[in-house]
Amino acid sequence: MINMDLMAVIYGLLSAACWGAGDFSGGLASRRGSVFSVVIVSQVIGLVILALLALALDKEMLTPDHILWGGLAGMFGGAGLLALYRGLSQGNMSVVAPVAAVVTVAVAVIVGIVIEGLPGIQALIGFAFALGAVWFVSQTNHGKTQWGDLKMPVAAGLGFGLFMVFLDHAGATSVLWPLVAVRVASISLLFSIATITRQPYIPGKSQLPLIAVAGILDSGGNAFFALAAQAGRLDIAAVVASLYPAMTVLLAWVVLRERISRQQWLGVVFALLAIVLIAAA
C-alpha cells in the first residue's frame, strides 16, 4: 500500500513544478507586451479550468463564506500576481521569484504569530535565512545593493501572503470552489484597474501560447496542491509546493541563460531554506 505522505510529496512536487513553470511562462510573456493582458487572460483561462474541475470533482457548491473570503483572497492575489509578473518582466527571474516566495511565507507566519503566538525556534531560524536571502540576492555583479529591484517581488509576496491568509478561511470545507471565487475577484479587480488606467488587456497573437501555458500551469499547480493536502499532512504539502521558485530559477538559467553570481546563488539557496523552515514550523 502506498504511503499517503509519500503521495502528498509527489503531488506537492508536481504543484511546485507547475507553479514555477507558470511563473516563468507568464514573466516571459510579459516581456513581449502588457503585463495586464498577460495576467488577465491567464486568469480567465485558469477560471475556466478551475470551474470545470469544481463542477466535476467538488460535491459542495459555492457558499457565502467561499465568496467573501475567496473574494478577498482574489483581490490580494491578483495584485500580487500583477506585481510578480511586472517584476519578472523587468528584472532577473532568478532573483524575483525566490524573494517573492520568502515574503509570501513570512507574511503567513507573521499573521500566525498574531493569532496563535510566537512560533518555535525553527521558524525564527527561517526568518534569519529569509533576511540573508534578501541581502544576497540583491547584490549585483558589482557587489552593490539594488533595493529598487526588490520592490515588485516584495509587493508580490505581500499580496500572495494575504492571499494565503484569506484563502485559509475560504477553504475550510472546500478547495476548488473557493479558488473559483478567487479567480472571479482577481479578474474583476485587474480588469477594472486596466480599464481605469487605460492599459491594454488584449494580448498579441505571439503572446497567446505563453499566456495559455501560464494559465494552465497555474491551475494545474492549484489542483495538485489540493490533491497533496488531501492525500497527506498539510504541512508536508505546503513545504514541498513552496519550492516552486526552484523551477523558475532553473528555467531562467537554462532557457534564458541568465547569469547568476555566487552571491545570488547563495541568496537563492537561503531563500529556499527559509521557505522550508518557515512553512514547516
Contact yes or no for 157/80 (Cβ under 8 A): yes
What is the structure's pLDDT at 102?
80
Q: What is the pLDDT of residues 44-75, one digit of tens each?
A: 999 998 888 888 877 777 778 778 888 898 89
Largest CA distance in the chain: 57
What secondary structure, in 3-state letters, does 167-229 show? HHHHCCCCCHHHHHHHHHHHHHHHHHHHHHCCCCCCCCCCCHHHHHHHHHHHHHHHHHHHHHH
Residue 194 has pLDDT above 60, yes or no: yes
Residue 18 has pLDDT above 90, yes or no: yes
What is the structure's pLDDT at 218?
87
Percent pLDDT > 70 in the chain is 84
What is the structure's pLDDT at 1?
44
Q: Which domain holds residue 49?
A: 4-279
What secondary structure, in 3-state letters, does 216-257 show? HHHHHHHHHHHHHHHHCCHHHHHHHHCCCHHHHHHHHHHHCC
Q: How many distinct structural domains can be found in the chain?
A: 1
What is the structure's pLDDT at 142?
45
Grid cell locating 3 = 504511503
